[in-house]
Amino acid sequence: MTHVEERPEAPDTAAEGPAGFADRIDRVLAQDLLDALWLEDLYGFRGRATWRTDAAGEAVLSVPVADGAALRWRGARLSGMRALRLSQDGAAVALQHAATCRPLRAVQTLDALQHAPWWPAYSERLAQQLAVAQHQMARTFAAEAALLARVAAAPRSLAAWEAVCCLRDRPFHPLARAKVWPDLPGEAFEVESGRSVPLHWVAVARDALFSGDGAAGADEGRYAAQPVAAALLSEDDYDGLARRAVERCTDPAALWLPVHPWQWRYLQRNRVALALQCVDLGSGPGAAMPTASLRTLSVADGERLHLKLALNVQALGAARTLPPRYLRNGVLAERCLEALRARDAWLGAHLALCGEGAWWALGNAASLIESQGELACMLRHYPAHDGWLLPMAACAAVTLDGRLPALEALCGDPALQTLAGSVPDAPAERAWRVFGRIAHLLIELGLRCFAHGVMPELHGQNVMLRIGADGLQGLVLRDHDTLRICPVLMAAAGVEAPDYAIDRSTPNTLILDAPEALLAYFQTLAVEVNLYAILAALAERYGTDESIGWRIVGQTLRESVDRVFGEGGATALHGCVAQALFDAPQWPFKQILAPLAARASIGTGMPSGLGTIANPLRQEAPPQEVPRR
């Protein structure tokens, strides 16, 4: 192989933060950028890459850019889906031109790529969002100690673990952290601030609202007329809001709704007609804590009730509003999943659902389909359970010094000692055993849903682990509005398809004609995003090859395919599922960067496309013993 002798020094540390902090932030962002370029094969990136070895024996990936120069990424070559684990010493990314080699920051790396002759067109949006992501990442990791202190104070608190999820955000994506608050600053409302969000209240005529079938509320007493306020406020606060409504001459029949304070100011400036449909009841009473999901606030202790509020904040090319058609579809999807729990014993025992039927949206258009949901809210009720809940996204959260707080908590939980092993066991072995159990639960859920013709979005933010006295007992699902269905498969399984409200003027991804399109959502979100993020973090933490994790995933998939598609009427699917998962040379992979760069305007759905990547279960790797589950 060609040897590149010169190794540039690391860039100077930026002024912000303690020494080395900015470099560590930049290295994380550079890794995410390289991962996205490689995994999404952006503009043929993989085919342009060449491999070398430097004088120290590290792998160097080179890609040509403008004026005869080349970008170089240095580190350890990986055998799984990603190309390279960036070196922790010196400059991991550099621009080489003739005899010179200049270290680059992540933002400079993207700029060099965008000026390459093979890059279609310079995207100002990508450049701006990467800069925003870098700023956000610095804020997030500056708050790391406070986030971990919350967990230390309440190690089984869902609200505390929800906050920890921001340390990772969407895996393998450099722009996931880029949250754009148009017109008005909003950083004070993000989870890193550690501050509660005071609720703003408005009164709205009920006949101007779309609402869900759980909107009536459970209270039959004097609070029944105002179910949202009754759910969110103490008796004293409720009475205070009632007095304020009387003072402002509010129609007694109107419904009191909470609005995010940032959103209310945004609507007053930019959606005047919508704001004028409301009687402003002012700020407070009541407050809630932000989570890593911008729209979602945890109420009280955050263990049983979340409040989801519409926001015109932009993330990954989409405004985070709550269109009522999405909310309605979520109710139908929840019913469908409940029906599957009743007919499948495994799902009934291992899957629980959040209740998402209590929602309200002020109509700013004539129809359900057209309404954008810019003033809307949902009460999410968590199912009763023993033990505690942990978002799967937290399992991939990595601290700046490389620790995995959620997996450490799982391995140390007394209820998991039989699974994880005793304390003297090697920590890597214990962690891989816990990962194996997590993989089993998620894979079994996904394949059983596919056998019935449906597929939830099984990424880490939507799925929670349920840990009880007997260890990892099951999963809890939320955000049901993204349940994909394949009517052909549903009919074959004897399952009634939900009557979704679909905007035919936009691409439809909820109703899929082909079974392989439905299976692709399992491969991309459940395996490539959710499980892969955890196994990649584990491999890096313990200095092992990612092939260990892929062997666990592959073995678990084979066991589940044989079990699920060896039952009843599902046997006909066994061959096609096995072929797609184990024999196909390529797997689908969800693309975001190119669709984001190409999007002309902000919508309510995240832009995405579908590419391919080598089947991760067919990668060559040295044989490894698979830790027992």
pLDDT in tens, 261-303: 999 999 999 999 999 999 999 999 999 999 999 999 999 876 8
- Predicted local distance difference test score (pLDDT) of residue 603: 62
CA-to-CA dists, residue 227 to 91, 159, 231, 255, angstroms: 57, 23, 6, 9
Other Cβ atoms within 10 Å of 214 Cβ, number: 18
Q: Which of 290-304, 503-517, 527-541 has the highest mean pLDDT?
A: 527-541
How high is the pLDDT of residue 217? 63
Alpha helices for 40-193 (secondary structure H): 45-48, 106-114, 124-142, 144-153, 158-164
pLDDT tens track for 156-182: 999 999 999 999 988 999 999 999 999
For residues 561 and 542, give the distance between their C-alpha atoms in angstroms, rounded to a whole number: 30
Above 60 in pLDDT, residue 620?
no
User: In angstroms, rounded to a whole number, what is the distance separating the alpha carbons of residues 108 and 273?
Assistant: 43
Whether the predicted pLDDT of 505 surpasses 90: no
Question: What's the pLDDT band for 11 if we cut at 50, 70, 90?
Answer: very low
Q: Which of 225, 227, 254, 229 is closest to 239 using CA atoms? A: 229
Cβ neighbors of 45 (< 8 A, separation 6 or more) are: 37, 38, 63
Among 376, 391, 554, smallest CA distance to 467 is for 391
When pLDDT is averaged across residues 234-238 and rounded to a whole number, the result is 96
* Domain covering 3-122, topology: TATA-Binding Protein (3.30.310)
Radius of gyration, alpha carbons of the chain: 25
Q: What are phi and psi of 297, to 5 degrees?
A: -120, 140
Are the beta carbons of 610 and 520 closer than 8 angstroms?
Answer: yes
Q: Who wins on pLDDT, 486 or 415?
A: 486
Q: Which pLDDT score, from 0 to 100, does residue 320 have?
A: 94
- C-alpha 146/C-alpha 193 separation (Å) is 10
pLDDT average, residue stretch 21-44: 96
Is the whole model's pTM more than 0.75, yes or no?
yes
Q: How far is CA 286 from the centre of its chain?
A: 28
- pLDDT of 109 strictly over 80: yes
pLDDT at 4 over 60: no
Residue scoring higher pLDDT (469 or 257): 257
pLDDT of residue 462: 98
Question: φ and ψ at 426, to 5 degrees?
Answer: -60, 130
Checking if the pLDDT of 419 tops 80, the result is no
* pLDDT exceeds 70 at position 1: no
CA distance 533 to 445: 18
Structural element, H or E, at residue 533: helix 532-542
pLDDT score, position 425 = 63
Taken in order 15, 16, 18, 19, is the CA torsion positive or negative?
Answer: negative
**Average pLDDT rounded to a whole number, residues 482-486:** 98
Average pLDDT taken over every residue of the chain: 91
Taking only the tens place, the pLDDT of each residue in 187-229 is 999 999 999 999 999 999 999 999 998 877 656 677 889 999 9
Does the domain at 386-618 match CATH 1.10.510.40? Answer given as yes
pLDDT, one tens digit per residue, over 575-595 is 999 999 999 999 999 999 988
Q: What is the pLDDT of residue 424?
A: 58
pLDDT at 622 over 50: no
CA distances for 120 relative to 312, 510, 564, 594, angstroms: 30, 30, 45, 10
- Residue 289: phi and psi, rounded to 5, are -95, 135
Q: Boundaries of CATH 3.30.310 in the chain?
A: 3-122
Mean pLDDT of 360-387: 92
Q: Answer yes or no: is pLDDT of 623 > 80.
A: no
532 and 557 in contact (C-beta within 8 Å)?
no
Residue 377 to residue 375: CA distance in whole angstroms: 7
- Amino acid 601: pLDDT: 61
